[in-house]
Amino acid sequence: MKEKSTSFDIAFRAGVSQSTVSRALRNSPLVNEATREKIQAIAKELNYKVDKNASSLRSQHSDTIALLLFEDPTNDDSAINPFFLSMLGSITRACSNRGYDLLVSFQQASEDWHADYEDSNKADGLILLGYGDYLSYEEKLLKLLDQETHFVRWGAEVKNLPLISVGCDNFQGGKEVADHIINQGRKQIAFLGTASSHAPEFFDRYKGYCHALESHGLIVNDRIQFNALYTEDAGYKAACELIASGEKFDAIFAACDLIAVGALRALQEHNITIPEQVSLVGFDDIAIASFTFPSLTTVKQDTQLAGELLVETLLTMIQGDEAKTTLIAPELVIRKSCGS
């Protein structure tokens, strides 16, 4: 019986070292494309399969990344913000392209991320993804920093901690939304979303909105700002509170699309027409945004680029190189609810 082929057999056939073979089979950029393709072709011809267990023992790496998804509990624990579903697909593809496996878990499943993943060699590093009350898990982020865990998070830049993040330029996105609404002739723009350190992404969007109002000589009216976090129900309740307040408003900027969908329902139930009486804008550009009635003006966050940057940044850290926080430019998508 013919013995199983080894990486040394591939190295001999290709005329390279065994370490070059290992790098090429991991799609390492350290191996030029022609050599990489030659080695991979020989591996396929010899029906060579990488022994991941042996490789992990030699390198003390698992060639696995763990993605921890955070979301505050809702009435339906199976519900996941659709924005993160699209990013999950992008992260999965980016891991596969770099020769890494991906573990996906919910934050609520464990209180000790470090022991569960990097310490036990289940994963070489963590991607933290999701929305929730930032202040409730800041202590856990500090623990990861103290234990020198390799991790990168999706979200707003945190200036008082040495956290590496990939996120949208939320301030710029909020400013562009408010500028657009004002240019449509609206002057009393309500904001639905938690505007505090509990929700840094929303807070940055709110700050951008305030900056735009002030630059146009308009007053920021705190009485038409209502807190809401991440769900349709929260958006519906916030919009109902806004309507019940009796304050005048001719536009709503919802801090995310799910809040906007809830606000849309509340406005329609109160026979308030969109956009004739009230313009409505969201943020995220989830798939449903183009199918609401009317279709939702919103801000697109490039989830494909985000997933690639999260994986690339984490692997840079795992390899011992310097990584930095990256902000992705927002893109205003104009539809019928405001300006199309």
Could you report the per-residue pLDDT of 300-314, keeping only the tens digit for each? 999 999 999 999 999
Give buried/exposed letters for 14-38 (b at 16+ CB in 10 A, else e): bebeeebbbbbbbeeeebeeebbeb
Residue 73 has pLDDT above 60, yes or no: no
Mean pLDDT across the chain, nearest whole number? 86
pLDDT at 148 over 70: yes
Would you say residue 115 has pLDDT above 60? Answer: no
Query: What is d(CA 189, CA 195) in angstroms, rounded to the nearest whole number?
Result: 15
* Segment 216-257, tens digit of pLDDT: 999 999 999 999 988 999 999 999 999 999 999 999 999 999
| Rounded distance between C-alpha atoms, residue 86 and residue 90, angstroms | 7
**What distances in angstroms separate CA 326 from CA 10, 20, 149, 158, 215, one per listed residue?**
39, 31, 19, 12, 27
- Name the E strands within 202-278: 225-226, 251-254
SS3 for 43? Answer: helix
pTM (two decimals): 0.78
Between the CA of residue 280 and those of 82, 208, 291, 305, what are the distances in Å?
20, 17, 14, 27
Residue 276, judged by CB atoms within 10 A of its CB (0-12, 13-18, 19+), counts as exposed
In the chain, the N- to C-terminal Cα span, in Å, equals 70
Q: Which two tokens stand for residue 57?
A: 């023992």
Residue 307 has which token pair?
């997933």
pLDDT at 117: 61
Whether residue 89 is predicted with pLDDT greater than 60 in this model: the reply is yes
pLDDT at 54 over 70: no
Res 139 pLDDT > 80: no
pLDDT-based confidence at 6, cuts 50/70/90? confident
Do the Cβ atoms of 261 and 235 come closer than 8 Å?
A: yes
**Could you give the percent of the chain with pLDDT greater than 70?**
86
| The residue type at 323 | A
Which domains are assigned to the chain? 7-50 (1.10.260.40), 64-168+303-329 (3.40.50.2300), 170-300+333-338 (3.40.50.2300)
